[in-house]
Structure 1
Amino acid sequence: MHRSTPAEATTPWANQWIGPYPDDRFDTFQAEYWRQRPRPSSTYSPLDLDQANGVERQRQDPLGRLKRSSTRKVKLVDGEVLSADYPVPSAVRNATEPRYRELSGTNEFTHMRYTAATCDPNDFTLAKGYNLRPVLYNRHTELLISISYYCEDKSMLAKTLTSVMLETRRIFDQKKSEFWNKGGPACQKIVTCIVCDGIDPCDQGALDVLETIGLYQDGVMKKDVDGKEVQAHIFEYTTQIAVTEDQRLVQNTVNSNLIPPTQLILTLKSRNSQKINSHRWLFTGIGRLLNPEVCVTIDAGTKVKPYGIHRLWIAFYNDKDLGACCGVIEPELGRWCRGLLNPLVAAQYFEYKVSYILDKAMESAFGYLNVLPGAFSAYRFRAIMGRPLEQYFHGDPTLIKMLGKKGVEGMNAFKRNMFLAEDRILAYELITKAGTKWHTLVITEARAETDVPDNMIDFITQRRRWLNGALASTVYNLSHFSRIYKSNHNILRMGFLHVQVAYNVLSFILSWFNLATFFLTIFVVTDLASSPNDGSNVRPFPFGKATPVFNAVLQTMYMVVVCWQFILALGNRPIGQTLSYLVSFIFFAIVQLYFIINVIYFMYCVIRDKTATSNGNSYSYISTFYTDIGQLTVWVTCASVFGVYYVAAFLHFDPWFMFTAYPQYLFVLSSYTNIINIYAFSNAHDVSWGSKTTHTALEALPSVVTTNVRREGRRDTVEIVEELPSFRTDIDSHFEKVVKRALTPYKRPSRSSTMTIEDKFRQYRTMLIAVYAFTNFLLCLIVMNDSFDKLKFLGNSRTHKIWFFKIWMWATSVCFGMRFVGSTWTRGHTLLVLCFFRK
């Protein structure tokens, strides 16, 4: 086996290039490549491979799969494990630099390795005969990069994989690094693993991309080994070829080395069993064999920006107590940022930006991120081993038999919803791990782009899972907070975590009553602007005498549309009510616009009244309400809600989204609560991920094949179906059994009075939506209804409105203030660390 010497490890690459790849650096294969590899039906065509290596000539069958004209004997490892090397096409082999291709003692550049894993991920161990090339070559894996794939198209997979391969290049070029330039080339310490959630959902184009770079061959997969069904097909290859998202090939030339040798592993699961099972193959199967220091998780479709992965790794290298971290994810806006023209995409763009600049920055200051997005996060592997992964994998549907009632089948609807937000579970288990003091951070300098829903149907469906998972995990984390005392955090960190819990409680309460808050603020502000004092020369705003009638109609429609959302959510799928949801989004956007206009008029009246002479107090009906709430309350709230966004954006040197996406967000904001929240809670019984079902009954039916035969005495042919003949004894025996079953006295089955799992899930949904609707309705009733005026100790309805706004405004201001302080601390800490970090 070849071992790279320190001299080889530091050998400079010709024409070093760092940063995003420009178009002129994409060198495609020459015409010789295409003469060797024509592409009918998206698979490799006949290739004359090296006969000296004992490789037989390959040919294609009509279905496009590779077949071999003769067989070979493959010895099973330990008599059970099928693992064999297969030569890659000549064009792929020749694309590798000669200095790597001609190395003795290794065939990682000339052959692809295939392993048929017939075991559970827990049994994918050396003791069971399974192994991987980095282990066989005695290499230390510092960085394991995982790409979770389900059914994304080839463009999305190529975009993610190419960005990861270019990150490997940038790490390889760190000539002044204390770590990467020791003990062999940096590329030998990095492994990229693609985990595909089932063969059926895979896009054929995506498999073609993997086959093009040498990682996949369609004709080598096996259904079973000695009667044991293959659970996962594992392919390994070290490549120097990349395919871009616009389907261009990239290879190294004499004058440019864009792609260093990249160690790739493809884990292609036989069946679709959800993302959490894919992570079990990653952490328990692949990860336990490679034993990396850091594991990065990326979703297919995410494009890592330059140095994104490297900066995540640097955070671990400089902080021994860092258990996990995440980078900043930004929605992909397309060319010329045309995505901002879609209000839904623009609103999500603003939401993502604020989430990292304020929310995650504050959580990072406390040391605990509530959620580590699977699209771009990193974990210290030894930190999540043990209880964090054990608890995390309780949501794996393939562990039903092993876990029993502790697994998915024994979970109620609340816990099942909690595992829809699996990235929150691992973050919580990590921070509360007994006897340790791991903390989590957001690395604002590590960035990635991902695609977001651009239509309301996909958006509603996505947020249903996010919101229900977030609700369940938040309640669970708060109710089990005492577990933090079993950890080994210092007193200062404990204090910060207690403050964060208080913030989470307050934020949860505000979020729960958002439905009532929108209702009350819109109704109170619009009524106040349209109700000048009797005898005043001020006309009702904005339509004069018609304003009260307009407001009454608008408020009635508002209540009707909100009620309509419950009806839509309880009995329909979003895709079947596209028009209704579109009209609802537009209506709430119009209401939001009308509300903003009234707020601007409200502030104008207050200023006008304060600057008016003693004879000009026509706007006192508004200024009196303003004074009762309190000038300090109003101005602190305005500074918190609006000022914090702008100051934090400039503090992070990223202010443009405030001007390009904030207006769209304001119009969509009320729909987040009035449509998304209602739909999510009304479908809390739905704990599915939208997995594709398999029709096992259909697969069990026999197949028929038609053949053409010539009829006797005639020249023409007729299509027939060949069947096995039926014997009289078989027919009579079968008929006798049927008659006995038919004449057996019928016993009416007893009706079960016990609730099924589906009944229990629907009961949970009913209770949740009832509590949500009733508590919000009760708050509106107390604030708005004059009937409570008879209870003198509660005051009149005006007093209720004043106190509601006071409490809501101060609570909101406290939340924004804590987010701003935490964001400022994180930003200062980041700038300080950048001056002294080690590479």
Structure 2
Amino acid sequence: MAYQGTGNHSPPGYDDGGHRLQDLPAGNNYEEEASRGLLSSQTGPFTGPFDDPQQRNLSPARPTSGYSLTETYAADAGYHDPYSAGGSVYSAQSGENPAAAFGVPGRVASPYARSETSSTEAWRQRQAPGGAGSGGGGGGLRRYATRKVKLVQGSVLSVDYPVPSAIQNAIQAKYRNDLEGGSEEFTHMRYTAATCDPNEFTLHNGYNLRPAMYNRHTELLIAITYYNEDKTLTARTLHGVMQNIRDIVNLKKSEFWNKGGPAWQKIVVCLVFDGIDPCDKDVLDVLATVGIYQDGVMKRDVDGKETVAHIFEYTTQLSVTPNQQLIRPTDDGPSTLPPVQMMFCLKQKNSKKINSHRWLFNAFGRILNPEVCILLDAGTKPGHKSLLALWEAFYNDKDLGGACGEIHAMLGKGWRNLVNPLVAAQNFEYKISNILDKPLESSFGYVSVLPGAFSAYRFRAIMGRPLEQYFHGDHTLSKQLGKKGIEGMNIFKKNMFLAEDRILCFELVAKAGSKWHLSYVKASKGETDVPEGAAEFISQRRRWLNGSFAAGIYSLMHFGRMYKSGHNIIRMFFLHIQMLYNTFSTILTWFSLASYWLTTSVIMDLVGTPSPSNGHTGFPFGKTATPIVNTIVKYAYLGFLLLQFILALGNRPKGSRFSYLASFVVFGIIQLYVVVDALYLVVRAFSGSAPMDFDTTHGVGAFLGSFFGSTGAGIIIIALAATFGLYFVASFMYMDPWHMFTSFPQYMAVQSSYINILNVYAFSNWHDVSWGTKGSDKADALPSAKTTKEGGKETVIEEIDKPQADIDSQFEATVKRALTPYVAPEEKEEKSLDDSYKSFRTRLVTFWIFSNALMAVCITSDGVDKFGFTNSATDRTSRFFQALLWSNAVVALFRFIGACWFLGKTGVMCCFARR
């Protein structure tokens, strides 16, 4: 178990003498902190969101401005009593003009102090140098002085920009006054316009990163990949990371973290945003509030060479909670956030997640050379001490190459999200996976998938072939790699890269000459949001199922590469067992569609069809009605299963929401009906005068022989006990049984839909290898950088040099936007024209197929005799063919009569025609 206070020694090969980790004292309530913010604890006149009354006199003199939000929001004497009602939390809820909210009269509001018509359009306007919103309190254009910035090696644009005074003043004095790490670490944000491929982001080409420039060893690189999540989801992840870093820094008795420099200097947080266009611009305001981003500094290109990624660097002590409360340091207590080295990589174009990881590993990783890289998706909140638990797993196992924690669904306050059956089913699925699947695979040493949303890798373990194979899925390398690239792959390999994390796991374990293994760390937990609607759920699982199936086949086909690894004979023995297990699981998955139908049909026949084994009765509607109901249920099952193929082959889930919702409901009702039948089967097997076909009169041996040799009820009871019984036992063993009571019934209802809807849609759309990302990306709002020769030698650019007062004034509006409560946009359910056409086509084809099928069933099936048809199927078939033949004969005769009439008429009229 993690975090034992004693006995944790370094593994062989480590020279740090071992370490001891100690649990933090109880009382760190994360939810309370996130809900109240540190701002609410202030009293006195300095109630701005950043200012610390103890720090104002300690702040070093600045030549441009000593601005802080004290001056901005402080009240004039006649308007506001600074000591009345204590402090106030700044959360941008007090009015459109933040200055007016704090009693400052006559102040002109910034033109961007509110959301404007849209955050994207407002952001575009703010990118113009000296344009609206980039200056002081008033609107309009301003002309600024300029400064000349020298390019690194004549081609790399890397500029330091002063951060707002309020952000500087928020840094605790003990860090601000310690200039060993770099005099500009807390006063300036560093911006680099990377005009190169990630593989070319090297020291040799003039690129560098602050931690390397300060000669710091990076032990932990925490990466957050982002696509288009809102500011609440992003803040949930970022604030959770900040809290986890605080846990590490507060480890007083850790020999590792407390030597060789402060612990916070060994940790770097890197945010990688996948394109400017899909990015939610409100998230950029949140990042600007903590100091890691500024409007108006990005350059679209440098001398016509397009910028590939915009890289910002700053060390901050600020954080914004998911409910838009600003957290800043107030004292040296254990709840105070330490400085965190942050990097923000904003890619200019949307080039997908694998490319984001190429920036992380090939560009930043090779410069920082971290020991462990932790991967998080925006929206995943790491739990208390979770990142520490992941790191500790690597620290105590020198052969551990990768690890993952427990991901669980976000259930909301009071578990209210469990009201949605889809959320409850996914919660149960995640829990059982973490209780049964992940521990099993971890025991073998090969976890088939370390979720990209919450996993960690040892950097030197994935270097080489694992990353090379992984990056074959990067679209930006398709031309360079040729046939080995994503565009040259067949459809099977393209689907494999939809589950790219599975590829990296296999390549890591099979790495030649190495003996890396993978593990599951139960002490590390992460919370993530899950799809709440049927359409979103189906689209997500399409990528997961197709990718995992293709990657699973890939790992089985290439298992022979394990013999080139450095695993010992014991590990290889268990890897062979796991290979056989995975092969058997793949076969079961392939035949799951037929298996589920046969199970449903057999159970209904066992309890519904009158026979000597059930006393010639039918459950639950009696011996007459039950067979009729069962027949209807079977045809409904097959009918809706056929509907899934029709929908999957021609429609998007979002364009057929009602059809898919109805399918989930129908399959859920059928599943519950079958579960009731199965429970009745179990009860009847052990009760009554003639309990099924079990021998209960000739001793235990005879009973066991009849039970395990049964071809009907006995084998079904065994299957139920082996599945659902183990769920209960394992959940209680892991001391986490609540999902069995809150989510198990919903999972039972949705279980058949996993096979009949999700698998059908996934396999029917095997050709679709898209991630659902947007198309072209534009950065037209960004200015270009033009260079000149200074004195005929040095290459420089002219950069606007804003006064500190204007930087601070602009920041005032940024804070206002960032701390505005998030309002989720209304999702429009309108169908596109293409969706409307496809929906009509689907209805037409469905009606055509089912009407024909209904007629065929009514005529040829003996099952419909139960509905009151007097004739047998043979008689109905004979009469149908008679009617069909007579009908064809009548139609043919009718056509012949028409032809004769036309011929006779034409011949007669020919005789009387005028010539």
Compared with structure 1, are the counterparts of its residues 102 and 597 closer, same or farther at alpha carbon in structure 2 (3 Å cutoff)? same
CA contact (8 A) 2:308 2:347 kept: yes
Aligned ranges 1:202-221 → 2 under 5 Å: 202-221=279-298
Which residue in 2 is equivalent to 1:250?
327
TM norm structure 1: 0.76
One-letter code aligned to 1:445: A
For the pair 1:441 / 2:522, whether they are aligned, the reply is no
Which residue in 2 is equivalent to 1:234?
311
The offset of 1:624, in angstroms, is: 9.1
CA contact (8 A) 1:65 1:218 kept: no
For the pair 1:663 / 2:745, whether they are aligned, the reply is yes
CA contact (8 A) 1:19 1:306 kept: no
For the pair 1:36 / 2:115, whether they are aligned, the reply is no
Q: Which of 146, 152, 163 is residue 77 of structure 1 equivalent to?
A: 152
Q: Which of 568, 585, 595 is residue 490 of structure 1 equivalent to?
A: 568
One-letter code aligned to 1:94: N
The offset of 1:69, in angstroms, is: 0.9
Aligned ranges 1:728-739 → 2 under 5 Å: none
The offset of 1:587, in angstroms, is: 0.2
Q: Secondary structure at the match of 2:726?
A: helix
Aligned ranges 1:452-601 → 2 under 5 Å: 452-533=530-611, 538-544=616-622, 545-601=624-680
CA distance in 1, matches of 2:327, 2:632: 62
The offset of 1:71, in angstroms, is: 1.4
CA contact (8 A) 1:322 1:439 kept: yes
CA contact (8 A) 1:303 1:448 kept: yes
CA contact (8 A) 2:112 2:133 kept: no
Which residue in 2 is equivalent to 1:100?
175
Which residue in 2 is equivalent to 1:692?
774
The offset of 1:347, in angstroms, is: 0.3
Q: Which of 73, 86, 93 is residue 161 of structure 2 equivalent to?
A: 86
CA contact (8 A) 1:42 1:205 kept: no
Aligned ranges 1:734-749 → 2 under 5 Å: none
One-letter code aligned to 1:82: L
The offset of 1:99, in angstroms, is: 1.8
Q: Which of 27, 31, 37 is residue 39 of structure 2 equivalent to?
A: 27
Q: Which of 424, 427, 431 is residue 349 of structure 1 equivalent to?
A: 427
Q: Which of 266, 278, 301 is residue 224 of structure 1 equivalent to?
A: 301
Q: Which of 620, 645, 658 is residue 727 of structure 2 equivalent to?
A: 645
Q: For residues 349-383 of structure 1, give each alpha carbon's deviation from its aligned partner in whole angstroms, at most 9, with x where no partner exists.
A: 00000111100110000000000101110000000
For the pair 1:604 / 2:680, whether they are aligned, the reply is no
Q: For residues 674-730 of structure 1, give each alpha carbon's deviation from its aligned partner in whole angstroms, at most 9, with x where no partner exists.
A: 00000000111000011111278x989xxxxxxxxxxxxxxxxxxxxxxxxxxxxxx
CA distance in 1, matches of 2:612, 2:714: 29
Compared with structure 1, are the counterparts of its residues 699 and 100 closer, same or farther at alpha carbon in structure 2 (3 Å cutoff)? closer
Count of aligned pairs: 673
CA contact (8 A) 1:41 1:64 kept: no
Compared with structure 1, are the counterparts of its residues 103 and 183 closer, same or farther at alpha carbon in structure 2 (3 Å cutoff)? same
Which residue in 2 is equivalent to 1:133?
210
One-letter code aligned to 2:738: W
Q: For residues 154-213 of structure 1, give each alpha carbon's deviation from its aligned partner in whole angstroms, at most 9, with x where no partner exists.
A: 111111001101111110001111200001110000000000000111111100000000
Which is further off, 398-407 or 411-420? 398-407
Aligned ranges 1:127-276 → 2 under 5 Å: 127-254=204-331, 256=333, 258-276=336-354
Aligned ranges 1:37-76 → 2 under 5 Å: 40=110, 61-62=131-132, 69-76=144-151
Compared with structure 1, are the counterparts of its residues 33 and 501 closer, same or farther at alpha carbon in structure 2 (3 Å cutoff)? same
CA distance in 1, matches of 2:487, 2:270: 30
Q: Secondary structure at the match of 1:654?
A: coil
Q: Secondary structure at the match of 1:114?
A: strand
CA contact (8 A) 2:237 2:379 kept: yes
Compared with structure 1, are the counterparts of its residues 346 and 404 closer, same or farther at alpha carbon in structure 2 (3 Å cutoff)? same
CA distance in 2, matches of 1:15, 1:497: 41
Compared with structure 1, are the counterparts of its residues 613 and 129 closer, same or farther at alpha carbon in structure 2 (3 Å cutoff)? closer
CA distance in 2, matches of 1:546, 1:40: 74
CA distance in 2, matches of 1:89, 1:232: 24
For the pair 1:681 / 2:763, whether they are aligned, the reply is yes
Q: Secondary structure at the match of 1:504?
A: helix
The offset of 1:604, in angstroms, is: 2.3
One-letter code aligned to 1:693: G
Q: Which structure has the highest helix share of the two?
A: 1
The offset of 1:589, in angstroms, is: 0.4
The offset of 1:649, in angstroms, is: 0.8
Which residue in 2 is equivalent to 1:729?
none
Compared with structure 1, are the counterparts of its residues 350 and 41 closer, same or farther at alpha carbon in structure 2 (3 Å cutoff)? farther
CA distance in 1, matches of 2:290, 2:730: 44
Which residue in 2 is equivalent to 1:124?
201
Higher relative contact order (CA 8 A, sep 6+): 2
CA contact (8 A) 2:317 2:340 kept: yes
Q: Secondary structure at the match of 2:145?
A: coil
Q: Secondary structure at the match of 1:209?
A: helix
CA distance in 1, matches of 2:503, 2:286: 34
The offset of 1:600, in angstroms, is: 1.5
Which is further off, 181-190 or 246-255? 246-255
Compared with structure 1, are the counterparts of its residues 178 and 103 closer, same or farther at alpha carbon in structure 2 (3 Å cutoff)? closer
CA contact (8 A) 2:708 2:715 kept: no
CA contact (8 A) 1:108 1:238 kept: yes
The offset of 1:44, in angstroms, is: 11
Q: Which of 482, 491, 494 is residue 413 of structure 1 equivalent to?
A: 491
Which residue in 1 is equivalent to 2:456?
378
CA contact (8 A) 2:37 2:326 kept: no
CA contact (8 A) 2:161 2:190 kept: yes
The offset of 1:531, in angstroms, is: 1.7
CA distance in 2, matches of 1:360, 1:498: 17
CA distance in 2, matches of 1:565, 1:190: 49
The offset of 1:513, in angstroms, is: 1.1
Compared with structure 1, are the counterparts of its residues 629 and 34 closer, same or farther at alpha carbon in structure 2 (3 Å cutoff)? farther
CA distance in 2, matches of 1:602, 1:683: 38
The offset of 1:400, in angstroms, is: 1.5
Compared with structure 1, are the counterparts of its residues 695 and 269 closer, same or farther at alpha carbon in structure 2 (3 Å cutoff)? closer
The offset of 1:512, in angstroms, is: 1.2
Which residue in 1 is equivalent to 2:446?
368
CA distance in 2, matches of 1:459, 1:331: 13
CA contact (8 A) 2:224 2:375 kept: yes
One-letter code aligned to 1:141: T
Q: For residues 558-583 of structure 1, give each alpha carbon's deviation from its aligned partner in whole angstroms, at most 9, with x where no partner exists.
A: 11110010000000001111110011
Compared with structure 1, are the counterparts of its residues 541 and 636 closer, same or farther at alpha carbon in structure 2 (3 Å cutoff)? closer
Compared with structure 1, are the counterparts of its residues 33 and 699 closer, same or farther at alpha carbon in structure 2 (3 Å cutoff)? closer
CA distance in 2, matches of 1:325, 1:467: 22
Aligned ranges 1:748-759 → 2 under 5 Å: none
Compared with structure 1, are the counterparts of its residues 298 and 42 closer, same or farther at alpha carbon in structure 2 (3 Å cutoff)? farther
Which is further off, 497-506 or 518-527? 518-527
One-letter code aligned to 2:264: C
CA distance in 2, matches of 1:609, 1:16: 56
Compared with structure 1, are the counterparts of its residues 631 and 547 closer, same or farther at alpha carbon in structure 2 (3 Å cutoff)? closer
Structure 1: state its 5+ residue gaps: 1-9, 46-57, 618-622, 701-784, 787-839
